[in-house]
Chains A and B, each alone.
Chain A
Amino acid sequence: MPEELICITCPLGCRLSVERLPAGGLSVSGNRCTRGARYAEEELLAPKRVVTATCRALPADRCRVPVRTAAPFPKDRVEELIRVLYSLEVRLPVKRGDVLVPDALGTGIPVIATRTLD
């Protein structure tokens, strides 16, 4: 059974049909350019998302601290990461770019603050 997905590299939104070859690798159809094949490969073999969230600030009456992963993060572990981030408490002051989690879930990807709050 081919897998269906929509390429989001550009606004065209090609509907891709992807077949996993027995020898490994993928056969992609429906893409109008080569970026579609690349997208399908990444999306099916190693999908990633930039994860954003907000953390509780201490003292607790302050605005929440927005954070994100410094690089795209493996999609299958996003939920796990979200739980970590939503239970994280950050003592103010914090600067934009401060590393709050140096190595998120052992992926080597840091989580950084995206706003300066003091």
Chain B
Amino acid sequence: MRELSYDAAVIGGGAAGMAAALEIRAAGLSCVVLEREEHLGGILLQCVHNGFGLIEFDEELSGPEFAERMEEKFRASGADAYLGVTVMDVEDPGDRKVLFGYSAEHGILRVSVRAVVLAMGCRERNRGNIRIPGARPAGVYTAGLAQRLVNMEGYLPGKDVVIIGSGDIGLIMARRMSWAGARVHGVVEILPYPSGLTRNIVQCLHDFGIPLYLSHLTSGIFGGDRVESVEIAPIEDGAVRFEKAFRIPCDTVLLSVGLVPENELSKKMGVELNPMTNGPWTDSMMMTNVPGIFAAGNVLHVHDLVDYVAEEARRAGAACARWIRGERPGRELRVKAGPNVRYAAPCRVGPEAPNKLYLRTLIVKNDAVLEVRLDNRVIQSRKKPHVQPSEMISVTLDPKDLADAGPDSTIEIAIL
């Protein structure tokens, strides 16, 4: 068994993990990143398309470029990384936390630290999560798995494809499969509006003439050894019209039906999760309910842009370093998701310093207003030309607006 000791450990070496480690090192503390794969970069390495980095690097990069540029900053910071290490358990005897990791190269690693940043990212929802009836043939993949097969390993998972769910990964894969020589026969979305960004609808579907079936339920997958067709039925006035169902022949189904924060390890550590995000509840220092355990990136809530992940993780890393040096959350106000807001993260803010929050709305609306209320008094009101659930919204709270907050004050954020 190999024994290591650091001020802080970061679990996961994707964009969030590297960004958190950068800030911990910048504060002069020692830091190790434990990464399950053989490379740093996480999911970015399979996202070979363009559109990352406009905030973090001020240019438009592909996923692998973003990952490599983060890794260069990370290496320059002097943080350590152990690759091919799966963290299986964390013990918390009191003063220090002990992480147990396993790897083919090092055997068992025992890492003793004062604080931990969770940065494990998220995983894809699959067929079981959305309960599509029908047969169980080969040829049903999650969109992210197909992305890895095509972009990294060089396999084309099928020739005639139907994509279920209109999340961004599904849309990106509609274009990728078309470019790679497959025919994409349609994208099926149960909601009346697409789950992905408009630019992806235009550039990944319209450019290729791929139909988007909004308000359609996937009522069955058919086939023997291999997928042969998918049956879809329109939803009209809230009712599924099974008599209007039709089948689309295909040999492959890709599922792009949402992402879930990867918190198996967090739960083992006693970290409490917010059912609206499936990520930890965090306080004004981005710390979970377990003292010394912080969270950022997709493990906390699913982001739509890696630039936001990096920004949030930098804040968590910096807060983790301050915590190790003895700072504790001061007076805190609870943040509540008000009308038309699904959630806001973090869930508590300190009124003495500026606070950045990320939130998601429940509605699609033009000319909306974002309203922040302190105990029912409006302290910030901002026009939003367009809101939709797939576009994360950020808001910064000014300490001077929170000056007369009492001990039981609550901040409520609403989209009107």
Residues of A whose CB lies within 8 Å of any CB of B are: 5-6, 8, 10-13, 32, 49-50, 52-54, 56, 63-64, 66, 68, 75, 82, 86, 96, 114-116
Residues of B whose CB lies within 8 Å of any CB of A are: 45, 48-50, 60-65, 67-68, 150-154, 179-181, 197-199, 201-203, 206-207, 366, 385-386, 388, 391
Write 10 A-B pairs (CB below 8 A) sorted by A numbering: A8-B198, A10-B386, A11-B197, A12-B366, A32-B385, A52-B48, A54-B150, A68-B62, A82-B179, A116-B68
Residues of B within 8 A of A116 (CB): 68
Q: Is the CB of B152 within 8 A of A49?
A: no
Cα A13 to Cα B206 with chains together (Å):
14
Closest 7 CB pairs of A and B: A115-B64, A66-B48, A8-B199, A13-B198, A114-B62, A50-B50, A12-B386
Query: How close is A63's CB to chain B, nearest CB, in angstroms?
Result: 5
Residues of B within 8 A of A54 (CB): 48, 150-152, 154
Query: How close is A89's CB to chain B, nearest CB, in angstroms?
Result: 11
Residues of B within 8 A of A32 (CB): 385
Q: Is the CB of A115 within 8 A of B151?
A: no
Cα A6 to Cα B198 with chains together (Å):
8
With A64-B153, A68-B62 in contact, do A11 and B386 touch (Cβ < 8 Å)? yes
With A12-B385, A68-B62, A114-B65 in contact, do A52 and B152 touch (Cβ < 8 Å)? no
Q: Is the CB of B198 within 8 A of A96?
A: no
Cα A8 to Cα B205 with chains together (Å):
13
Query: Which chain A residue has the least Cβ–Cβ distance from B198?
Result: A13
Across the interface, B386 reaches (CB within 8 A) one of A6, A13, A115, namely A13
Q: Is the CB of A52 within 8 A of B50?
A: yes
Query: How close is B385's CB to chain A, nearest CB, in angstroms?
Result: 5
Query: How close is B199's CB to chain A, nearest CB, in angstroms?
Result: 4
With A52-B48, A56-B154, A64-B154 in contact, do A8 and B203 touch (Cβ < 8 Å)? yes
Q: Is the CB of A86 within 8 A of B388?
A: no
Residues of A within 8 A of B45 (CB): 115
Cα A68 to Cα B61 with chains together (Å):
9
